[in-house]
């Protein structure tokens, strides 16, 4: 792969990830502010995830000409920007719905641009850890202070327009070839995995799979976490950047070595981080409880994500549907919203304590299974079969 092609792919990946993260947090902030209740605010975020999964199912299958994709990017950017502006200028929920649908389509189109660029390369591209980290940094800078809604909508609208223009330029003369299955690992390369049937039968991977779930409650509640930490004299920008650094920093630093970790090593590290975060949110004083949870569970997600990218045996099977991932995570977001509305910060703590407890209990099951060599060998064979059927990367 030439340096120019690599740079082009890296920039497209960074745009796609920046759209995912800025959309999730920025739209979530607007939803929680304009919705009459917290649960309805979370329902709007769930709608965005569902729309993202549906759009990704369509636009990542291939067969789209670059001219039509450029037009779709421009329309998506314009609709999203208009929806954001009207949301803060009297449009309310209807304008926010327009922004939600437009941003979901734009993010899915960005993933399609990445797919088109990647499939034109003769060599297999490396996992997008560095590009995703760059995108996360850009998203964190764009988000800034979530409390100033008029300024936030202006920044988000400007960012969406710039990202759409950049993607139009990056995908010039790149046409998708034959139609093929869409995202092979759910949404955004196991960031939101769509596990194949029987994935949970391999007990050794339970803590890693649980760590993959940690992203959803952290991202969904980040606007509230910013407000809670602000009350403890922690700047909003600092809370967001700490959150994103925890998610992508360890994965970026260890990206060269994590592919050599065994499934057991990755599982142990994820368990330690999940249990540590649960302990901090349970017993530490504010704001260390939320910040410690963010650091521990963010790192657990990041390492689980990167570990799955580098090791095909740990990824979802080829042909996993983005819509399936979108439906699953939308349902989880709805349930999490009801919990937070009724219990507040305690509900957030309970969700993450459950992840830590489940990871710890998984090792009791692993130890019990290890007492029977036949069962252990059967689990290893299942892992090998999944590795043989794994697909390539998406974003």
CB 248: neighbour CB atoms within 10 A? 27
- Rounded Cα gap, residues 302 and 214, in angstroms: 10
Predicted TM-score (pTM) of the model is 0.89
End-to-end Cα distance, the chain:
17
Q: Which of 155, 180, 205 is the last residue of a domain?
A: 180
pLDDT tens-digit profile of 175-199?
A: 655 444 444 455 665 566 666 556 6
Q: What angle is formed at CA 55 by the lines to CA 51 and CA 60, rounded to 5 degrees?
A: 150
Do 122 and 244 belong together in one domain? no
Give exposure, 78-87, as e/b (b: 16+ Cβ within 10 Å).
Answer: bbbbbbbbbb
CA separation for the pair 392, 318 (Å, rounded) = 8
The CATH number of the domain holding residue 301 is 1.20.1250
Containing domain of residue 323, as a range? 183-395
Residue 76 above 60 pLDDT?
yes
- DSSP state, 147? T
Same domain flag for 45 and 106:
yes
> What pLDDT is stored for residue 393 in this prediction?
36
**Is residue 187 located within the same domain as residue 324?**
yes
DSSP for 253-283, written as a single string:
HTTTTGGGS-HHHHHHHHHHHHHHHHHHHHH
Q: What is the pLDDT of residues 191-247, one digit of tens each?
A: 666 665 566 777 888 898 899 889 999 999 999 999 999 888 899 999 999 999 999
Which residues have CB under 8 Å from 288's CB, separation 6+?
280
Residue 376 pLDDT: 46
Same-domain pairing of 109 and 220: no
């Amino acid at each position: 792969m030439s340096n120019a092609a690599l740079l082009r792919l890296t920039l497209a990946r960074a745009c796609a990830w920046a759209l995912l993260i800025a959309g999730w947090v920025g739209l979530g902030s607007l939803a929680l502010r304009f919705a009459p209740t917290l649960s309805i605010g979370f329902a709007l975020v769930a709608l965005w995830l569902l729309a993202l999964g549906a759009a990704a199912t369509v636009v990542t299958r291939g067969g789209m000409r670059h001219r039509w994709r450029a037009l779709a990017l421009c329309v998506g950017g314009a609709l999203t920007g208009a929806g954001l502006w009207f949301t803060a200028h009297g449009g309310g929920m209807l304008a926010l719905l327009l922004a939600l649908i437009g941003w979901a389509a734009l993010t899915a189109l960005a993933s399609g641009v990445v797919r088109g660029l990647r499939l034109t390369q003769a060599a297999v591209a490396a996992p997008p850890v560095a590009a995703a980290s760059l995108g996360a940094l850009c998203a964190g800078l764009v988000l800034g202070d979530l409390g100033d809604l008029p300024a936030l909508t202006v920044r988000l609208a400007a960012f969406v327009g710039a990202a759409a223009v950049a993607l139009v330029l990056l995908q010039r003369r790149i046409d998708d070839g034959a139609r093929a299955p869409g995202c092979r690992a759910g949404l955004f390369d196991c960031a939101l995995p769509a596990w194949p049937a029987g994935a949970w039968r391999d007990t050794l991977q339970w803590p890693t799979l649980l760590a993959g779930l940690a992203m959803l409650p952290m991202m969904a509640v980040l606007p509230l976490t910013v407000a809670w930490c602000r009350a403890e004299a922690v700047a909003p920008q600092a809370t967001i950047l700490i959150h994103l650094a925890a998610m992508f920093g360890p994965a970026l630093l260890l990206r060269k070595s994590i592919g050599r970790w065994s499934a057991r090593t990755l599982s142990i590290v994820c368990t330690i981080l999940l249990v540590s975060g649960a302990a901090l949110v349970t017993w530490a004083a504010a704001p260390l409880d939320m910040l410690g949870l963010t650091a521990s569970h963010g790192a657990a997600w990041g390492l689980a994500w990167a570990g799955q990218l580098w090791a095909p045996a740990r990824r979802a099977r080829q042909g996993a549907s983005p819509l399936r991932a979108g439906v699953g995570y939308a349902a989880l977001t709805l349930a999490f919203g009801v919990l937070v509305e009724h219990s507040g910060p305690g509900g957030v703590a309970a969700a993450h304590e459950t992840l830590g407890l489940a990871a710890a209990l998984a090792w009791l099951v692993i130890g019990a299974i290890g007492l029977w060599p036949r069962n252990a060998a059967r689990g290893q064979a299942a892992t090998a079969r999944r590795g043989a059927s794994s697909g390539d990367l998406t974003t």
